[in-house]
Amino acid sequence: MTVLVLEGDARQRWAAAELQTLGYSVRFVTKEEYADGKLPCGADLALFPIPATRDGVHLACSLEKPPPLLTLASGGPARLFGGGFSSDFISRMRHSGREVTDLLSIPSFTEENAALTAEAALGVGMTAAGQSMRGLSVGIVGYGRIASRLCRHLLLLGARVRVFARSEEARLAAMLDGADAYDTALLRRHAPALRLLFNTAPAPLLTLRVTEKLSDCAIVELASGRENITLPEGRGDLSLHFAHSLPGKVFPVSAGRIIARTLDQTMQIEGLRKT
């Protein structure tokens, strides 16, 4: 069974290597090869990057003019894997006779990916803070898969963790994990005590009204992007660190292997053997 692995970040090369170890015939397609919007013929599967697109239209890659995802996929194999596909894209592909598997919809994959992301985020935060986590006052905004794992890592290292979440259920989960938990409305009140702050919430919660109260604090942004965080001008004691595309940047080997193994497990569940 032949798999086309499209070049993306470093995870794709490690995924290709792991697929070969698992017994697949692999053709790695460089960005220069697919720049014209065409994929090589004769393959059974195609593995797209994760996420497959960032703007909802073009393939997520480092090309100055990336090809449209729909055009690329329409000329490819009948079985497509990747992550972050839109429902419209999946519908169009299935209408054309292609089957699509979004790895980000598979619980086992998202759990393993979240664990790696949390570990990578911890490393980014420790470097940004420039000091030991033991006794450090750390804040986490949001409490989903990544944040909960990050919280537990921090607590094991001796940090004093405060979680800020909108839902009562999330706050209860944080308290059960051993952190102090508060509504996001109380971010401004607790901001002066924080020396490291992780944002995992895709919402503009770190407004100027909140960040102006921070002091000697490193902020690690994992979710919402530059436009959703406003820092006061002229504050050298505050630093902002964007930690997107984790864990691909930090743990490409482990992340790539998870991608390959999830693809293989999916094929095995469907009863399709590697030949």
pLDDT tens for each residue of 15-51: 999 999 999 999 999 999 999 999 999 999 999 999 9
Instruction: Supply the pTM of this predicted model.
Output: 0.87
Whether residue 106 is predicted with pLDDT greater than 80 in this model: the reply is yes
Residue 40, domain extent: 2-105+251-269
Q: Are 15 and 56 found together in one domain?
A: yes
pLDDT band at 188 (very low <50, low <70, confident <90, very high): very high
Q: Is residue 90 part of a domain?
A: yes
Q: Are 69 and 137 found together in one domain?
A: no
pLDDT band at 273 (very low <50, low <70, confident <90, very high): low
Whether residue 13 is predicted with pLDDT greater than 70 in this model: the reply is yes
Q: Is residue 275 part of a domain?
A: no
pLDDT band at 245 (very low <50, low <70, confident <90, very high): confident
Q: Are 166 and 235 found together in one domain?
A: yes
Q: For residues 163-188, give the mean pLDDT.
A: 98
pLDDT band at 272 (very low <50, low <70, confident <90, very high): low
pLDDT band at 262 (very low <50, low <70, confident <90, very high): very high
DSSP, residue by residue, the chain: -EEEEE--SHHHHHHHHHHHHTT-EEEEE-HHHHTTS---SS-SEEE--SSSBSSSSBB-SS-SSPPBHHHHHHTS-SEEEES---HHHHHHHHHTT-EEEEGGG-HHHHHHHHHHHHHHHHHHHHHHHTS-STT-EEEEE--SHHHHHHHHHHHHTT-EEEEE-SSHHHHHHHHHHT-EEE-GGGHHHHGGG-SEEEE--SS--B-HHHHTT--SEEEEE-SS-GGGB---TT-TTEEEEE--STTTTT-HHHHHHHHHHHHHHHHHHTTPPP-
Whether residue 224 is predicted with pLDDT greater than 70 in this model: the reply is no
Q: For residues 72-100, give the mean pLDDT.
A: 94
Q: For residues 163-190, give the mean pLDDT.
A: 98
- Where residue 154 sits, what CATH number does that domain have? 3.40.50.720
pLDDT band at 200 (very low <50, low <70, confident <90, very high): very high
Domain count, the chain: 2
Q: Is residue 62 part of a domain?
A: yes
pLDDT band at 59 (very low <50, low <70, confident <90, very high): very high
pLDDT at 223: 85
Q: Are 68 and 139 found together in one domain?
A: no
Whether residue 128 is predicted with pLDDT greater than 60 in this model: the reply is yes
Q: Are 226 and 263 found together in one domain?
A: no
Q: Are 210 and 265 found together in one domain?
A: no
Q: Is residue 274 part of a domain?
A: no
Q: Are 235 and 256 found together in one domain?
A: no
Q: Are 166 and 42 found together in one domain?
A: no
Q: For residues 154-170, give the mean pLDDT.
A: 98
Q: Are 217 and 262 found together in one domain?
A: no
Q: Are 128 and 236 found together in one domain?
A: yes
Q: Are 212 and 168 found together in one domain?
A: yes
pLDDT at 178: 97
